[in-house]
């Protein structure tokens, strides 16, 4: 869900409408980092972010909270807190100050930032109707943090601005995604960059199901979630021009990984 990349005039307007500032142009990147999980054993490698990246994540989250309506629906926030409380003990990421905030936004989206900052839109809670489906969302976002995906992107291309990388997470799943077609002129460079983004998403899906199983949730709820997302969001953007895998790709990958995740049940 999180971590969208690339920059054009439409995205600049979107950032401006949210009161956010991009510090430097974002470069598209290639190359995939080693997987943060073992597909045979289900062992997860926790990759802590450095202090600088955590500080920027916390600053970006504070800025977003000051400029985006935080939901006043106490029941919605309590539901997110309830699920997060079950997930946190199975994730050993020392020094992380996890924070989960529900934002008043009809888009079915969530995002994560370095330092354990997780945002959930009210629109997503209408799709994730069970705690298990919500756990799939939160565990996915937490997996982005534990896999240190923001740092992996920076490491693979030194021209990427950290500020842009972080703000990209906030834009994940927004209307910005539908505008990626205008970036097609960048050809092969974009193809490699967007493929890397999709690989991160699929990795977060898989690691998330492991976290779900360890917390006592059924990993199969992640499949149900994406089936519901697919029924709601009929995107016409070709997968090779998208930073996120299409729902059918995600569902197939999750179904294949379920035996590994189920073996992690405690």
Q: Is the distance from CB of 98 to CB of 119 less than 8 angstroms?
A: no
CB 118 within 8 A of CB 97: no
Which pTM value belongs to this model? 0.73
Question: Helix, strand or coil for residue 192?
Answer: helix
Per-residue pLDDT, 156: 57
Tokens of residue 229, six digits: 């997302």
99 included as an active-site residue: no
Which residue is associated with the tokens 């370095």? 114
Residue of 45, 58, 141, 221 marked active site: 141
pLDDT value at residue 45: 78
Q: How many helices (H) and strands (E) does the chain have?
A: 10, 3
Structure tokens at 19: 């009161």
Residue 122 has pLDDT above 90, yes or no: yes
CA dihedral 77, 79, 84, 86 (to 10 degrees): 150
Q: Which band of pLDDT confidence, cut at 50, 70 and 90, is reported for residue 29?
A: very low
Q: How far is CA 58 from CA 102, 174, 219, in A?
A: 16, 21, 30
């Amino acid at each position: 869900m999180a971590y969208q990349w690339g920059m054009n005039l439409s995205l600049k307007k979107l950032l401006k409408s949210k009161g956010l500032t991009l510090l430097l142009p974002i470069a598209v990147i290639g190359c995939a980092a080693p997987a943060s999980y073992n597909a045979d054993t289900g062992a997860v490698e926790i990759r802590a972010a450095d202090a600088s990246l955590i500080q920027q994540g916390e600053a970006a989250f504070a800025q977003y909270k000051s400029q985006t309506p935080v939901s006043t629906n106490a029941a919605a926030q309590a539901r997110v807190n309830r699920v997060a409380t079950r997930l946190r003990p199975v994730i050993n990421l020392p020094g992380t100050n996890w924070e989960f905030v529900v934002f008043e936004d009809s888009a079915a989206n969530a995002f994560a930032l370095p330092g354990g900052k997780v945002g959930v839109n009210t629109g997503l809670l209408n799709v994730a109707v069970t705690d298990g489906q919500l756990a799939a969302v939160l565990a996915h976002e937490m997996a982005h943090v534990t896999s240190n995906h923001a740092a992996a992107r920076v490491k693979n291309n030194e021209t990427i601005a950290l500020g842009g990388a972080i703000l990209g997470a906030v834009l994940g799943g927004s209307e910005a995604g539908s505008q990626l077609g205008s970036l097609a002129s960048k050809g092969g460079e974009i193809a490699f960059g967007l493929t890397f983004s999709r690989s991160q998403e699929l990795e977060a899906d898989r690691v998330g199901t492991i976290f779900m199983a360890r917390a006592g949730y059924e990993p199969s709820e992640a499949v149900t979630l994406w089936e519901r997302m697919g029924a709601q969001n009929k995107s016409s953007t070709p997968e090779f021009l998208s930073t996120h895998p299409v729902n059918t790709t995600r569902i197939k990958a999750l179904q294949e990984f379920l035996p590994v995740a189920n073996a992690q049940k405690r």
